Chain A
Amino acid sequence: MKKKLQVEAIAHGTVIDHVPAGQGIKILKFFQLSAAQERITVGLNLPSGEQQQKDLIKVENTVFDENQANQLALFAPNATINVIEDFEVVRKFHVSTPEQVKGVFACPNSNCISHNEPIDSNFYVRHQQQDIKLKCHYCEKSFDRSLFSELD
C-alpha cells in the first residue's frame, strides 16, 4: 500500500526527517531558515512509525554541509537528512553531534568575556552519560543543553 505524502515533494533540496515533534520550529529558528529566499515546507506533528509524531522540514535548492547538518543533532539526535535531486533521494545520512559549535549560541554565563568582544562564541560538545553538555572555550564552564535560551 502506498502511503499518501503528507508534505509535497520537492525537486531539489534537503529534507530533514525524523525530527522529534516540537523541535521543528526550533530548527527553523536555529538555522534561520525562514530568512532565506528559498521555499520551505514544514510538517508538524506528522504521524510516524518509529516515533509517535514527528516534524519534517523541506528546504528547496539548499544543501546542508555535514557540519551544519550535525548541529541539528543538538535538537534532533535521530534526524535524517535526505538530499534530493530531481525528486530522488541521492544521499541520505544520519546526523551526529558535532565536536564543536561556533558562533551559534551565546554563553549562558553572563560574566563570560565572549559577550563583550568582537568574536564568535565557541563550545565543545561533550557526552556525559545520557546527556549532552556544552563547554565554553572561553570561560571553561560546562552547560546543559537546556540552559541555552536559543533552544527554547
Chain B
Amino acid sequence: MNNPLYQKHIISIPDLSRQELELIVDTAQSIKQQPRPELLKNKVVASCFFEASTRTRLSFETAVQRLGGSVIGFADGGNTSLGKKGETLVDSVKVISSYSDAFFMRHPQEGAARLASEFSSVPVVNGGDGSNQHPTQTLLDLFTIYETQGSLEGLKVAFVGDLKYGRTVHSLTQALSLFGCEFYFIAPKALAMPDYIIEELNEREITYSLHDSIEEVVNELDILYMTRVQKERFDETEYQHMKSSFILRANMLEQVKDNLKILHPLPRVDEITTDVDTTPYAYYFEQAENGVYARQALLALIMTNEFGAQ
C-alpha cells in the first residue's frame, strides 16, 4: 500500500490533513536519526528557481544530495532562456517534468506552483509562490516544534512581529490549528493578523488572543515564534516605540516555562537581541538546520514508498 503522499504534489498547507502532517514530521525525525544516503539513488530532482532565494534553494538541494539523488535546475529564472524567451510556465513545466522524477520551484507569482502541478507529470513541491504559500517552511517549523515539545497537541504558541505579511505565520497557524493549539498574536496594529486567518480560527472555534507586548504572555508559552519586522513599514518614532514591545531580550525570559523554545524563520535583523542566543530557549539555528530534514522527508515521501506504507 502506498503512503498517502506518494507521487503527490505539495503546494499549500491547507491541502494537507493532520495525518499527512504527522507522517511528514515522523519521517523527518526518522531521517534525522538515521540518514538514508541511498534513498534517492538514480533519481533526478529539478530545482527550478524562477526567482532567486538562496537559503531555500541550498536547503532543498542539500536535501536531495543527502538522499543520494542528483539535482538539475537553475537558480534565477529571470536570467535563464526560460525568462528571456518569454516561454509560458505551462510549457516550461511540461519539459522540465519530462527530465526529472520530481521538482521543486520558487516563483514570483502567486499560484505558480498550483498551475505547475496541473501540467507536471512528476510531483511538484512549492518552494514559495509570490506572497502566497511556502509550505516547506511550515513543515520544518512543525517538525521543530514537535522535536522540542515531543508533541504538537494543545501547545500555547505566540507569534510576534509582522503577522500581516508573514505567510509562514499564516500557514503555521493553519497547520497548528489542526492540533488544538492555542494562539497569542503580538503585533503592531498596522501588522495585525489578516482577517481571513482570524475568520478561519473563529469558524473552527480555536482559542486565540491579541496582545500589545511579548511580556504580557511570555511566561505562559511553549513556543515563541518571532518574525522580522521590516523597518521600512514604519517611520522612525513609530519604529522606536515598536522596538520596546516587539523585540525579545534575554532579561524577558527570567520566569518562562522550562520547555519554552524560541523560533524565527531567519534571517533576523534586530528583533531578537544576541544575548538570547545563549539561553536554553533559543532554537532558531537548529530550526534552520531542520529545514534540510523536513525537505528530505518530503522528497522521500513523494518519491519513494519507504515510509509510512503498510
B-contacting residues of A (Cβ < 8 Å)?
109, 111-114, 116-119, 128, 136-142
- Counting residue pairs across A and B whose Cβ atoms lie within 8 Å, the total is 55
Report A106 CB to chain B, min CB distance, Å. Answer: 13
Q: Is the CB of A117 within 8 A of B110?
A: no
Most buried by B among A112, A113, A137: A113
Q: Is the CB of B12 within 8 A of A112?
A: no
Most buried by A among B88, B109, B133: B109
Partner of A141, one of B90, B107, B110: B110
Partner of B130, one of A116, A117, A139: A139
Alpha-carbon separation in the docked complex, A141 to B194 (Å): 12
Whether a CB of chain A sits under 8 angstroms from the CB of B156 is: no
Closest to B11 in A: A140
Partner of A117, one of B12, B90, B108, B129: B90
Alpha-carbon separation in the docked complex, A111 to B133 (Å): 14
Q: Is the CB of B196 within 8 A of A113?
A: no
Q: Is the CB of A117 within 8 A of B199?
A: no
The answer to whether residues A139 and B88 also contact, given A111-B130, A128-B199 and a CB cut-off of 8 A, is no
Whether a CB of chain A sits under 8 angstroms from the CB of B8 is: no
Whether a CB of chain A sits under 8 angstroms from the CB of B114 is: yes
A-contacting residues of B (Cβ < 8 Å)?
12, 88-90, 107-112, 114-115, 118, 129-133, 196, 199
Chain A residues whose C-beta falls within 8 Å of the C-beta of B108 in the assembled complex: 111
The answer to whether residues A138 and B110 also contact, given A113-B115, A119-B115, A128-B199 and a CB cut-off of 8 A, is yes
Alpha-carbon separation in the docked complex, A115 to B12 (Å): 20
Alpha-carbon separation in the docked complex, A116 to B110 (Å): 11
Q: Is the CB of B199 within 8 A of A113?
A: no
Q: Is the CB of B111 within 8 A of A142?
A: no
Report A147 CB to chain B, min CB distance, Å. Answer: 14
Alpha-carbon separation in the docked complex, A140 to B90 (Å): 19
The answer to whether residues A113 and B12 also contact, given A118-B88, A118-B90 and a CB cut-off of 8 A, is no
Chain A residues whose C-beta falls within 8 Å of the C-beta of B132 in the assembled complex: 139-141
Q: Is the CB of B88 within 8 A of A140?
A: no
Alpha-carbon separation in the docked complex, A139 to B129 (Å): 8
Report B107 CB to chain A, min CB distance, Å. Answer: 7
Q: Is the CB of A140 within 8 A of B110?
A: yes
The answer to whether residues A113 and B133 also contact, given A138-B115, A142-B196 and a CB cut-off of 8 A, is no
Alpha-carbon separation in the docked complex, A136 to B12 (Å): 13
